[in-house]
Each structure stands twice: as structure tokens, then as C-alpha cells.
Amino acid sequence: MKFQTPVNYDPVLSVRDTQEAIKYIRDTFQREFGKEMGLSRISAPLFVTRKSGLNDNLNGIERPVSFDIQELPEERIEVVQSLAKWKRYALKKYGFKLHEGLYTNMNAIRRDEVLDNLHSVYVDQWDWEKVIAKNERTEETLEATVRTIFKVIKHMEHEVWYKYPEAVCHLADDVFFITSQELEDLYPELSVKEREDAIVKDKKCVFIKQIGWPLKRSKHPHDGRAPDYDDWNLNGDLLFYLPSLDRALEISSMGIRVDEDSIITQCQASHCEGRLTLPYHQMIQKKELPYTIGGGIGQSRLCMLLLNKAHVGEVQASIWPDQMIEECGKHHITLL
């Protein structure tokens, strides 16, 4: 367990007012986001079969929650860790055309998460995916999409200010772009998280590009990325400054997805060549799936940001260690 103690924290809103604000933010954001991005809402699975290869392996070490079911005794069923792969398959299955896309509510359980102010065993986010042309697999496409998402989040600041002026968190006016290598070069002596905090304190909203490949100085990636969904040259994380904790808060991880070449290169670099034989991976190599861009936007984290909360447990119901519950109580943090 990790816990960051907020300084002179005042939650402003009562628990019941916070619950009302959470519903307002979630309802309003998904409506505006879907409209601005041209996305249709669809239903998504809570679990998939292991053999499908559709579950997200995240960093490759997290254990998915798995179980069997009576009617399929030979199958191992896994609770999704994200919908990164499933969404691309769904675009093909449901016949989405060029520049059409989908979004869905994703709920997951990440049993190996290290719990702190920002991380919970329960994950809730808007997962989205959009069909693009192969010649649109560029940094220009990525940055334009990031700016659209930033615009919707910035608009939400004004929406929340109108209803909860005493509680709203005021955001940056623009998003700053930097690659993970440029960030390491800028702060060579700092750890990854210290680098993120430093650049976000300075710029207030930052998109860190190109996450996955080892960096020159540390010889390690800026952050772990599965080799079989994002193209590591065309992806990144969107971070905002969170005043209540005086640190960076990641709101979205997104990217242009692997094509028939980059999936092989990245799986080989990660020593995961065995995945290339799975049905999903074969479809990519055979060009049977559309080229896409997609990502996830944390629902609870967006509520945290817009209401300047100091703990994700203030905006979602989960399970926490007794010690953390006790510490939160000392600092006016009410966990749901």
C-alpha cells in the first residue's frame, strides 16, 4: 500500500453532493465526447476466453481474474483487464466504416494493482476506438485526436464550474507534447514518475509520446506497454496537474494501433513471439482487421480531476486496506 498525504485538504463537497457531481460528470462527458469524436456507444464484455487472445496483457505480469463456467468446462474465462484488443475486433464485427468509431463503458478488476491515491483494484473507463486509413497512421493524426479529447475535457471544466463553482479544478488552456525520450533528456536524474510530475507542474497538461521502447539512458521504457495493441512510435499518455496532491494525474492512455509489421517487431522485441499465433494476432498480420486509433479515459480519474479530489476512493466504491482507510479519515478523505 502507498498513500500520499494531502496538505490541508478540504473536499469542499459533501459525500451526497459528490455522488451527484459524479453522475453529472459521467453523463455529460460521455455524451459530449461521443458527439465530438463521432463515436457510437456499444455494449462490451466483462470477460473473454483466454484462448481468444483478446484480453489485455498490460505489462505482461499482472494476473487476470479467471474462472470456469458450468456450460464450458474446458474453457478458461478471464475478466478483462482492458478492451484494447476487443474494440478493434468489434469494429470489424459490427461493420464500422472509415472514420466511424465506438465507445463503451469498461469495468475491470486488476488484482495485482498497488493501491494508492490514484490506483484501485476496480477500474472504470470509457474505452473508444475509431477506424482510420493506413496513411493516417501518423503523429499528426495522433496529436489532432489528443487535442480533440483535451477540448472536451476543458469544456467539462466549464460545465462543472457552472454547477459546482466552489469545487471545480481549473485546467490548463492547452496541451504540451513531448516524447518519452525528450522527457528523459530533460530530467536525466529523475525517476519516471518524478519526470512526469516535474513536466506537468510546469506545463499543467502534457501528452507524453512514444511509450514502449527502451530509453537511451535508463535502458528501460518510460512505462510498460503490451506489444500487441499500441504502436510504440504512435502512442502516449495524457496527464493533467492535480492541485490536491500537487502531482501529475494520468487521464488517458491511447494510440494508433499496431499494423501487420509493428505487431511482429514489437512482439519479437518483447520476446512474446508465441502470441503471434493467437486468432486476434493472426487477423492483424493477415490485414483482416481495420487500422485504428483508440484508447481509454478514466471515469473515476476524470471525476477526481474536475472535482480536485485527493483519492480515487472518493469517487468510486472499491476495497482498501484498513491502514489506508484510517489514514484517509485523518485527512478528511471519505472513501465510498
CA separation for the pair 17, 235 (Å, rounded): 36
From the candidates 78, 81, 82, 110, give the one annotated as an active-site residue. 110
3-state secondary structure of 260: coil
DSSP symbols for 270-331: TT-GGGGGSHHHHHHHTT-S--EEEEEEEHHHHHHHHHT-S-GGGSS-----HHHHHHHHHT
Whether 110 is catalytic is yes
Measured CA to CA in angstroms, residue 117 lies from 2, 120, 238, 300 at distances of 8, 8, 18, 12
In the residue annotation, 68 being an active-site residue is answered as no
Q: Are 183 and 203 in contact (CB under 8 A)?
A: no
> Active site residue: 26, 30, 56, 184, which one?
56
- Say whether 10 is catalytic: no
User: DSSP E strands: which ranges in 136-214?
Assistant: 176-179, 205-209
Burial of 274 (0-12, 13-18, 19+ CB in 10 A): exposed
Query: Do 143 and 293 form a contact (C-beta atoms < 8 A)?
Result: no
Catalytic residue among 30, 180, 252, 253: 253
**Edge-to-edge strands, sheet with 72-79:** 47-49, 72-79, 66-69
What backbone phi and psi angles, to 5 degrees, belong to 129?
Answer: -155, 140
Q: Among 30, 120, 125, 180, which one carries the catalytic annotation?
A: 125
- 111 flagged as catalytic: no
From 250, 260, 275, 285, the catalytic residue? 250
Catalytic hit among 237, 247, 252, 301: 237
Terminal Cα-to-Cα distance of the chain (whole angstroms):
18
Residue whose grid cell is 478483462: 80
Is 237 labeled as catalytic in the residue annotation? yes
Q: Identify the DSSP state of 264.
A: H
Q: In the sheet where 292-298 sits, what is the strand order?
A: 39-41, 101-109, 122-131, 292-298, 247-257, 230-242, 205-209, 176-179
Is 250 a catalytic site residue?
Answer: yes
Task: Give me the active site residues, please.
Answer: 56, 110, 125, 237, 250, 253
